[in-house]
Structure 1
Amino acid sequence: MQDRWNAFMPYPDADIGHAAIGLLSGLRLAVKDLFDVAGYPTAAGNAAVLAASGIKTATAPLVQALLDAGACFVGKTNTDELAYSLIGGNIHFGMPRNPRDPNLIPGGSSSGSAVAVAAGLADLGLGTDTSGSIRLPAAINGLIGWRPTHGSLDNRAVRPLAPSFDVPGFMTTSLEPMAAAMSAVGMPAANDRPISILIPEDIFETIDDAIADEIIASLRSAAMPIRKIDSISSASLADLAVAFITILQKEAWASNKALFEQSPEAISPDIAARLRSGSRLDEKDVREACRIRKLFSGEIDRLLCESVVVALPTLAVSPPTRDAGPETFAAFRSACIKLLCLSGLGGCPQLAFPIGRGAGNVSLSLLGARSADSMLMNVARRLRAE
């Protein structure tokens, strides 16, 4: 397969079998290089990890479940180093190229899986999402991205970043293969109770008026009850983001401490700097972050207990160009985390998908209660009318 988008890792092909008949028959599967696949190494976007990996002899259970459902494996995909970024760059293996707009970043860390699907090289992109690593590249590449309820999918034989936030998930170009993937991994069907949509005004006030208007118009087209609320939490978006980043950095350091201490020079400077920050955190700050997460989790549980869905933009700002500088990337990451952290702090599912005419340049997200993944799909079907 010709890969002019740098979506895939340059590994020699290995024979990966799949069931002849199943829910995913005919769908090509691209797998982020955090998941073990028998016959391949696992690099996690880092040359030192690749050198130490060896060829895996067993396949991650989630990947195997997809193969057993008939998906055809087409390769392991590029990822941000250690899955610790939202940009899509990698100093070891290069930045994948965004098929929708080659001048823009592809987004990460599930950059290769997103690009493979957007470029038509795969139908189902398997990735992971800690702080937005499925939802953000899905939005930038005009895809549907699903971050499942935390803990609902098997994450064995997947390299961790921050385990209390990490989830495997998928990207597709349309809802049909996403629904098939949900069924293949055992997501229960949604009940038939009426659904209402909440619009948090504090979130919509932070984005461009034209984008906010387009999202609200799309929501109204579904003819479901819509209610505006001031906010979804007593904590500010800024405080929620700080709490999220604090816990993320703490756990990312624990996950990568051994690698950092053995081969600090093998980690790119920006990733290394974030790991060092995690190693230096004050325990008082960590306890405060955990307190805020517990507060928010309780608030979101109460808010979403009755077939309620929160609508929000997937991205807080437009993505930068791939040749932008570190300060621009940092500002983009910081702005987006304020929205992307919400599902992580609450353990909730989130479904991101393009709306609008033609290019799908606006991405809407639906946030639901834990285990309400299929309900989000039902709402998306009404909004997109596929």
Structure 2
Amino acid sequence: MQDRWNAFMPYPDADVGHAPTGPLAGLRLAVKDLFDVAGYPTAAGNAAVLAASGIKTATAPLVQTLLEAGACFVGKTNTDELAYSLIGGNVHFGMPRNPRDPDLIPGGSSSGSAVAVAAGLADIGLGTDTSGSIRLPAAINGLVGWRPTHGSLDYRALRPLAPSFDVPAFMTRSLEPMAAVMSAVGMPAANDRPSSILIPEDIFETIDDAVADEMIASLRSAAMPIRRTDAISSFSLGDLASAFTTILQKEAWESNKTLFERAPGVIAPDIAARLRSGSRLDDEEVRAAYRIRKLFSGEIDRLLRENVVVALPTLAMRPPKRDAGPESLAAFRSACINLLCLSGLSGCPQLAFPAAGCAGNVSLSLLGAQSTDRMLMNVARQLRPD
């Protein structure tokens, strides 16, 4: 396969079989290089991890499920180093190019899977989402991105970053193949509709007014009841993002401590700095962050128990250019985590998709109660019929 987008890892091809029929027959599958696939190494975007990997003899159960549903494996994809970024860069293997706008970052950390799907090299991009690593690149590349309910999919033979946030997740070019993926991985069907779509004023006030107006107009097109609320939590977005980042850094350090202590020089400086930050957190700071998560999760559970779906902008601001300086990239990452952390802290599913009738590249998200993944798809189909 010719890959001028640097979406795939440069591994020699190995035979990966798949079922000739099934709900995913005819769909090409690109797999983030965090999942084991028999016949391939697993590098997690790091040269030292690649050197120590060896060729895997077994395939991650979730990948095997997709193959048995008929999906055809087309390669392992590039990822931000250790899956610990939202930008899409990698000092070891390079930054994939955004097919939608080559001047912009592709987004990460599931950068290669997003680019492979956006470039038409794959139909299903399997990745992971910890702090937005599916939703953000999906939004930047004009794709559908699904972060499932935490713990609902098999995560064995998947290299962890922050286990209490990590979820296997997917990208497709439209809603229909994503619906097929949901079915193939065993998400329960849902015929119910939410009582209303909830618009949190404090969140929509953080984005450009014109974009917010376009999104709300798109929501009204579904002819479903719309409700507005001042906020979905008693905590500010900044406090939630701070708690999320504290837990993320702590767990990321624990996941990568051995690698860091053995070979700190093979980790990019920005990634190494985040790992060091996690190693320096004091216990009380971490406990406070977990307490905020527990309280927030309770608030969201009570809110969504009313059978509502929360509408959110997927991105907080326009993506930076791929040659932007570290300060611009850090500001983008920080702003987006304010919105993307909500699903991670609550464990709730989120479905991101291009907003219908909006100028430019505008991504809308739906957040629902745990295990309402298929209901989110039903609402999205009303908002954006393929």
Same fold flag (TM > 0.5): yes
Contact conserved, 2:146 with 2:169, CA < 8 A, in 1? yes
Contact conserved, 1:354 with 1:360, CA < 8 A, in 2? no
Deviation, structure 1 residue 115: 0.1
Paired letter, 2:337:
I
SS of the residue aligned with 1:353? Answer: strand
Distance 1:184 1:68 in 2: 9
Moved more, 132-141 or 186-195: 186-195
Match status 1:249 vs 2:245: no
Q: Residue 87 of structure 2 aligns with which residue? A: 87
Distance 1:293 1:355 in 2: 29
Q: Over residues 239-266 of structure 1, what are the superposed CA-to-partner deviations in whole Å (9 max), with x where a residue is unaligned?
A: 0000000000000000000000000000
Moved more, 189-198 or 146-155: 189-198
Match status 1:287 vs 2:273: no
Moved more, 305-314 or 189-198: 189-198
SS of the residue aligned with 2:98? Answer: coil
Q: Residue 383 of structure 1 aligns with which residue? A: 383
Distance 1:23 1:373 in 2: 18
Q: Over residues 52-72 of structure 1, what are the superposed CA-to-partner deviations in whole Å (9 max), with x where a residue is unaligned?
A: 000000000000000000000
Moved more, 68-77 or 355-364: 355-364
CA distance 1:156–1:30, change in 2 (3 Å): same
Q: Where does 1:98-109 land on structure 2 (aligned, <5 Å)?
A: 98-109=98-109
Contact conserved, 2:194 with 2:309, CA < 8 A, in 1? no
Deviation, structure 1 residue 356: 3.5
Distance 2:270 2:181 in 1: 34
Distance 1:122 1:248 in 2: 30
Gaps of 5+ in 1: none
Q: Over residues 226-246 of structure 1, what are the superposed CA-to-partner deviations in whole Å (9 max), with x where a residue is unaligned?
A: 000010100000000000000
Distance 1:3 1:194 in 2: 42
Q: Cα RMSD between the aligned structures?
A: 0.9
Paired letter, 1:91:
V
Distance 2:15 2:306 in 1: 47
Match status 1:139 vs 2:131: no
Distance 2:196 2:317 in 1: 26
Moved more, 214-223 or 352-361: 352-361
Deviation, structure 1 residue 192: 2.2
CA distance 1:173–1:358, change in 2 (3 Å): farther
Q: Residue 7 of structure 1 aligns with which residue? A: 7
Distance 2:65 2:232 in 1: 36
Q: Residue 203 of structure 2 aligns with which residue? A: 203
Task: Return the TM-score normalized by structure 2.
Answer: 0.99
Deviation, structure 1 residue 357: 4.0
Contact conserved, 1:142 with 1:360, CA < 8 A, in 2? no
Match status 1:268 vs 2:231: no
Q: Over residues 275-332 of structure 1, what are the superposed CA-to-partner deviations in whole Å (9 max), with x where a residue is unaligned?
A: 0000000111101101100010000000001321000100001100000011111000
Distance 1:307 1:70 in 2: 34
Q: Where does 1:103-182 land on structure 2 (aligned, <5 Å)?
A: 103-182=103-182
SS of the residue aligned with 2:168? Answer: strand
Distance 1:204 1:183 in 2: 32
Deviation, structure 1 residue 194: 4.4
SS of the residue aligned with 2:95? Answer: coil
Deviation, structure 1 residue 51: 0.1
Identity over aligned pairs, percent: 85
Q: Where does 1:181-200 land on structure 2 (aligned, <5 Å)?
A: 181-200=181-200
SS of the residue aligned with 1:309? Answer: strand
Contact conserved, 1:61 with 1:156, CA < 8 A, in 2? yes
Q: Where does 1:333-352 land on structure 2 (aligned, <5 Å)?
A: 333-352=333-352
Contact conserved, 1:130 with 1:165, CA < 8 A, in 2? yes
Q: Residue 365 of structure 1 aligns with which residue? A: 365
Deviation, structure 1 residue 193: 4.4
SS of the residue aligned with 1:293? Answer: helix
Task: Return the TM-score normalized by structure 1.
Answer: 0.99
Distance 2:17 2:195 in 1: 41
SS of the residue aligned with 2:139? Answer: helix
Contact conserved, 2:215 with 2:358, CA < 8 A, in 1? no
Q: Where does 1:44-83 land on structure 2 (aligned, <5 Å)?
A: 44-83=44-83
SS of the residue aligned with 1:128? Answer: strand
Contact conserved, 1:142 with 1:359, CA < 8 A, in 2? no
SS of the residue aligned with 1:94? Answer: coil
Q: Residue 221 of structure 2 aligns with which residue? A: 221
Distance 1:192 1:17 in 2: 37
SS of the residue aligned with 2:197? Answer: strand
Q: Residue 38 of structure 2 aligns with which residue? A: 38
Q: Residue 298 of structure 2 aligns with which residue? A: 298
Paired letter, 1:297:
S
Moved more, 359-368 or 32-41: 359-368
Q: How many residues align?
A: 386
Gaps of 5+ in 2: none
Paired letter, 2:101:
D
Paired letter, 1:143:
L
Distance 1:20 1:107 in 2: 33
